[in-house]
Amino acid sequence: MSAFAAMLAVFRKEFRENLRDRRAVIAALIMGPLLGPLVFASALSLSIERNTDEGGHVVTLAVVHGERASNLLDYARQYGIQTEAVTYDDASAQRAVSQQRYFMVLSVDGDFSSRLESGQPAPLTLYADASDSSHARDVSRVRAVLAQYGSVLARMRAIARGMDPLVLTPVVVHDVDVSTPASRSVVALGTFSYLVLLAMLMGGMYLAIDATAGERERGSLEPLLTVPVKREHLIYGKILATCAFMTVSLVLTLTAFAIALRFVDLERFGMSVNFGPLVGLEVLLCCLPLVPLGAALMTVVASFTRTYREAQTYLGLILLIPTLPLVFASVLGLRPTAALMTIPSLSQHFLMTSLLRDEAIPASFLGLSVGVTLALGAGLMFIAGRLYHREALLG
């Protein structure tokens, strides 16, 4: 019997059996492909909304003893800051912020007006939670308005004393922001790559476990090893079936992304808006070389484990592996180089990103990514084949 026929027989059986396994099907066809794009698209939409509705947004500030600084509060109201009078002491003000009754409490100290009148620094106390990122924008807006009020007063004092208010502005800084919408979307694109790669790996995970640790646990491995087929051909057939599940997952995920992203205003994130069939196909082709590598990696790891549960634990960790390069890439702001294109998952991330940004990437980079990833996959498949020759396999 030819090696190919044997692998095909194993492939067919694993594919068919796992299509009947609810857990494998849910992971491959539903979890990754649907959840990823859905979460991604709704997170993007939310963040776009938050960025856009900033202008007309009214901020409510809790104020203790507002009567001591009525001019200040009038000034703040002109800039869209509503005030609400509260009666807190120091401790209860802190509690109110930490329990999120108010995101910010402003307390006007007793000697505020007397010190203001005598030209001394007049104290205000501001309670805010620096770790509450959802209100960070509002907090900085309030601070800016307070600082602005201060500088207006300073200028008026200077004029009253016959000074040119310009002396109070010795330095002027001009900000030139060269970031493009594309470069600001590093995090969003990193998330996209990760969700695609995660869904792809997850699609094959249960099959990889079932075909190795599961097979051994059920006691069907030993009979299988008594058929006249070389052990490496058995495992290659299983890896191929894992690849098939992963490919199906990948295609579904990209299709779902293409549909979900039509409902998101992508231009803000600098993605090429037509994430249409062609870009989708190109992204698919970039990711495909990673399929055998992922399948072989999961199979090798699952072959070492004794039980289904143990395999599940280890493969859960494997799912994190593709995140590591992506995290480094976004934290360090890495740009594609020849050396980096030899790192699987990172190189696919770069390829996907440049496709989505509609940027050109050198053909040599593409070649490196495809070549190295395929070679590593082949190497791992060979190792998986060798592992199946160990006698310890039977347990």
Partner 1 sequence: MIDATHLKKHFGAVAAVRDVSVRAQDGHITGLLGPNGAGKSTTLRILYTVLKPDSGDAIVDGVSAMRDPLEVRRRIGVLPHSAGIYQNLTARENIAYFAALHGMSRTDAQTRTRELIQLLEMDEFADRISKGFSQGQKIKTALARALVHRPRNVLLDEPTNGLDVMAVRSLRRLLMRLRDEGHCVLLSSHVMQEIGALCDQVVVVAHGTVVATGSPDEIRGTTGEANLEDAFVKLIGSGEGLA
- Which of the 8 DSSP states describes residue 229? S
Per the CB < 8 A criterion, the answer to whether 27 and 202 are in contact is yes
User: Smallest distance from the beta carbon of 302 to partner 1, in angstroms?
Assistant: 17
- Tokens representing 299? 């199979």
Q: How far apart are CA 83 and CA 139, in angstroms?
A: 14
Q: With respect to partner 1, which residue has the nearer C-beta, 230 or 268?
A: 230
User: Smallest distance from the beta carbon of 191 to partner 1, in angstroms?
Assistant: 35
Of residues 253, 279, 255, the one with CA closest to residue 352: 279
User: Smallest distance from the beta carbon of 226 to partner 1, in angstroms?
Assistant: 4
Q: With respect to partner 1, which residue has the nearer C-beta, 21 or 282?
A: 21
Per the CB < 8 A criterion, the answer to whether 207 and 247 are in contact is no
DSSP helix/strand/coil, 81: strand
Surface-to-core class of residue 58, CB atoms within 10 Å of its CB (0-12 exposed, 13-18 middle, 19+ buried): exposed
Q: What is the DSSP string of 20-51?
A: T-HHHHIIIIIIIIIIHHHHHHHHHHHHHHHH
User: Smallest distance from the beta carbon of 229 to partner 1, in angstroms?
Assistant: 6
User: Phi, psi at residue 270, to the nearest 5°?
Assistant: 70, 20
Give the helix/strand (H/E) hosting 279. helix 277-287
Residue 107 bridge partners (DSSP): 64, 125
Q: What is the DSSP string of 171-195?
A: ----------TTGGGHHHHHHHHHH
Q: With respect to partner 1, which residue has the nearer C-beta, 65 or 230?
A: 230
Q: How far apart are CA 79 and CA 121, in angstroms?
A: 23
Q: Vertex 337, ends 364 and 267: CA angle to 5°?
A: 95
- Tokens representing 130? 């620096």
DSSP helix/strand/coil, 362: coil
Q: With respect to partner 1, which residue has the nearer C-beta, 211 or 246?
A: 211
Q: With respect to partner 1, which residue has the nearer C-beta, 12 or 143?
A: 12
Chain-centre distance for alpha carbon 86: 40
Q: How far apart are CA 87 and CA 101, in angstroms?
A: 13
User: Smallest distance from the beta carbon of 201 to partner 1, in angstroms?
Assistant: 22
User: Smallest distance from the beta carbon of 6 to partner 1, in angstroms?
Assistant: 6
Q: With respect to partner 1, which residue has the nearer C-beta, 211 or 256?
A: 211
User: Smallest distance from the beta carbon of 131 to partner 1, in angstroms?
Assistant: 49
User: Smallest distance from the beta carbon of 283 to partner 1, in angstroms?
Assistant: 33
User: Smallest distance from the beta carbon of 197 to partner 1, in angstroms?
Assistant: 28
User: Smallest distance from the beta carbon of 266 to partner 1, in angstroms?
Assistant: 41
Q: Starting from the edge strand earliest in sequence, which strands make up the sheet with 59-64, in order?
A: 81-86, 59-64, 104-108, 124-128
Q: What residues make contact with partner 1 under the rule CB under 8 A?
A: 1, 5-6, 9-10, 12-13, 16-18, 20-21, 215, 218-230, 391, 394
User: Smallest distance from the beta carbon of 230 to partner 1, in angstroms?
Assistant: 7
User: Phi, psi at residue 76, to the nearest 5°?
Assistant: -65, -40
Surface-to-core class of residue 167, CB atoms within 10 Å of its CB (0-12 exposed, 13-18 middle, 19+ buried): exposed
